[in-house]
């Protein structure tokens, strides 16, 4: 089916020549065509340009964008959106002054979510996660990475990953699965954490790989969680088994997580609240995408990652939601744009680059997603009637997305 979209106020994040990511100063530029049309054929974008140059006569369907903006759908490269139950009780503890680490030490946090997930059925987890996917889609997300990591036993980790596989099969969103066996240390392994690392390496990874359940491997490499040496061992085993690393790093401390991620050519290192000159130099010499999770830093009241410093150093920066029941209970990427602008002083243009093309890179799909480019997937949204692109992060808290198209199909 050939569909023509007419009267686009501005077609945003357009690329004539595909780039794999946008770095440094380039991030402030967002290429767009005003008064535009776009043609999609099947699931792909085949043409676009200015309305005045439109010659098309053979479209089977015409959609009038009615002078609204068209953007590529967001790529949310870091989420934990398969989970059982939420954790608002801990939120109250947090308000009263307990830190994330203190809550975790008491068996709350990730361990609390693990207990609930272990008791939940595959069907329940699937239904809940599918609803969350529908919700984030309505806010403009078209591709999402989903992690395991609330299982923490071999059986429960496999259950989570099977849920993600079923979501992949049935959801119109593009989904990547990330095996995060090393998200927390189960209580019964306290004092013998090395044995749990052995379990991840010798039992979990081989089974995950055998069932082809994951694209990526992740480790929470930080103070109070897994050390650099343990992370190194697990990434070595993961890479040997064909998994690509994407890790949680430098959220709570200058943990060495960035360096060990880069050593294994991680696709991304995520969180990055603690980044200094050494970490920036390390990232500059790598192919690894620095990924900031503004929702988690906001919700945990953490210091903000030095996004501007990284951009000034010529690095690309991606941003994702970190949607999870503890540190970021929202998958709304429009809110991520607002946080990017208010808390990290990114311009709306930089924020859109961070949440489309650069976050597509961070999930290994920037050749097919993340921009409006010929041959790429027809994954885009038409906005509501808004005056400018800047209005999306500015008028925060309401949904500016009107119609969502994934693989050429209206949702």
Interface residue list for Fe ion (CB under 5 A): 322
Name the minimum Å distance from CB 334 to ligand NIG: 20
Q: What is the binding site for ligand NIG (CB under 6 A)?
A: 80, 109-110, 113, 220, 248, 251, 296, 322, 324-327
Question: Around Cβ 186, how many Cβ atoms within 10 Å?
Answer: 16
Tell me the C-alpha distance between 210 and 176, whole Å. 17
Nearer to ligand NIG, 232 or 270 (CB): 270
Tell me the C-alpha distance between 250 and 184, whole Å. 15
Question: Which of ligand NIG, Fe ion, none binds 232 (CB below 5-8 Å, type-dependent)?
Answer: none
Name the minimum Å distance from CB 297 to ligand NIG: 9
Q: Which residue's Cβ lies closest to Fe ion?
A: 322
In this structure, what DSSP letter does residue 32 have?
Answer: E
Nearer to ligand NIG, 145 or 379 (CB): 145
Nearer to ligand NIG, 256 or 325 (CB): 325
Name the minimum Å distance from CB 268 to ligand NIG: 12
Question: Which of Fe ion, ligand NIG, none binds 156 (CB below 5-8 Å, type-dependent)?
Answer: none
Name the minimum Å distance from CB 79 to Fe ion: 8
Name the minimum Å distance from CB 322 to ligand NIG: 5
Exposure on the CB side of residue 315, measured as CA atoms within 13 A: 27
Question: Which of Fe ion, ligand NIG, none binds 176 (CB below 5-8 Å, type-dependent)?
Answer: none
Question: Which of ligand NIG, Fe ion, none binds 327 (CB below 5-8 Å, type-dependent)?
Answer: ligand NIG
Cβ pair 143, 181 in contact under 8 A: no
Of residues 117, 177, 124, 196, the one with CA closest to residue 151: 117
Nearer to ligand NIG, 128 or 390 (CB): 128
Q: How many residues does the chain have?
A: 411
Tell me the C-alpha distance between 260 and 13, whole Å. 33
Name the minimum Å distance from CB 269 to ligand NIG: 12
Of residues 18, 36, 43, the one with CA closest to residue 370: 18
Nearer to ligand NIG, 11 or 293 (CB): 293
Name the minimum Å distance from CB 162 to ligand NIG: 20
Q: Which residue's Cβ lies closest to ligand NIG?
A: 326
Question: Which of ligand NIG, Fe ion, none binds 220 (CB below 5-8 Å, type-dependent)?
Answer: ligand NIG
Nearer to ligand NIG, 152 or 158 (CB): 152
Nearer to ligand NIG, 30 or 144 (CB): 144
> Could you give the dihedral angle defined by the CA atoms of residues 44, 133, 266 and 328, in that order, rounded to the nearest 10 degrees?
140
* Alpha helix segments (H runs only) across 87-246: 88-95, 100-105, 110-119, 122-138, 154-170, 193-199, 205-210, 228-240
Return the structure tokens found at 33. 């065509």
Nearer to Fe ion, 222 or 322 (CB): 322
**DSSP track, 235-247:** HHHHHHTTPEEEE
**b (16+ CB within 10 A) / e for 18-54:** ebebbbeeebeebebbeebbbbbeebbbeebbeeeee
Question: Which of ligand NIG, Fe ion, none binds 218 (CB below 5-8 Å, type-dependent)?
Answer: none
């Amino acid at each position: 089916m050939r569909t023509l979209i007419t009267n686009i106020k501005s077609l945003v994040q357009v690329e004539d020549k595909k780039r794999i990511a946008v770095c440094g100063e380039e991030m402030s530029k967002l290429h767009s065509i005003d008064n535009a049309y776009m043609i999609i054929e099947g699931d792909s974008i085949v043409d676009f340009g200015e309305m005045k140059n439109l010659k098309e006569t053979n479209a089977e369907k015409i959609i009038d964008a009615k002078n609204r903006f068209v953007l590529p759908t967001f790529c949310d490269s870091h989420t934990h959106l398969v989970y059982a139950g939420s954790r608002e009780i801990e939120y109250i503890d947090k308000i009263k002054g307990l830190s994330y680490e203190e809550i975790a030490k008491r068996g709350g946090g990730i361990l609390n979510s693990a207990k609930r997930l272990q008791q939940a059925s595959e069907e329940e987890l699937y239904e809940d996660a599918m609803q969350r996917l529908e919700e984030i889609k309505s806010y403009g997300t078209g591709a999402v990475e989903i992690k395991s990591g609330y299982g923490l036993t071999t059986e429960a980790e496999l259950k989570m990953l099977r849920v993600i596989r079923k979501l992949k099969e049935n959801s119109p969103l593009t989904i990547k699965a990330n095996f995060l066996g090393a998200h927390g240390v189960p209580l019964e392994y306290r004092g013998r954490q090395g044995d749990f690392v052995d379990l991840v390496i010798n039992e979990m990874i081989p089974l995950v790989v055998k069932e082809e359940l994951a694209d990526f491997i992740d480790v929470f490499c930080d103070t109070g969680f897994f050390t650099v040496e343990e992370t190194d061992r697990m990434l070595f085993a993961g890479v040997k088994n064909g998994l690509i690393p994407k890790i949680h790093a430098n959220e709570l401390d200058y943990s060495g997580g960035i360096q060990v991620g880069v050593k294994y050519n991680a696709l991304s290192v995520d969180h990055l609240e603690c980044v200094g000159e050494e970490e920036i130099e390390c990232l500059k010499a790598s192919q690894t995408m620095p990924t900031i999770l503004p929702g988690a830093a906001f919700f945990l009241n953490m210091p903000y990652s030095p996004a501007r410093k990284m951009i000034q150093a010529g690095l690309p920066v991606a941003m994702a939601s970190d949607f999870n029941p503890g540190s970021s209970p929202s998958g709304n990427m429009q809110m991520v744009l607002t946080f990017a602008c208010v808390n990290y002083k990114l311009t709306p243009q930089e924020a859109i680059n961070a949440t489309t093309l650069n976050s597509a890179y961070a999930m290994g799909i920037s050749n097919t997603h993340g921009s409006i480019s010929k041959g790429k997937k027809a994954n885009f949204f038409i906005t509501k009637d808004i005056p400018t692109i800047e209005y999306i992060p500015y008028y925060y808290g309401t949904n500016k997305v009107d119609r969502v198209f994934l693989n050429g199909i209206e949702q």
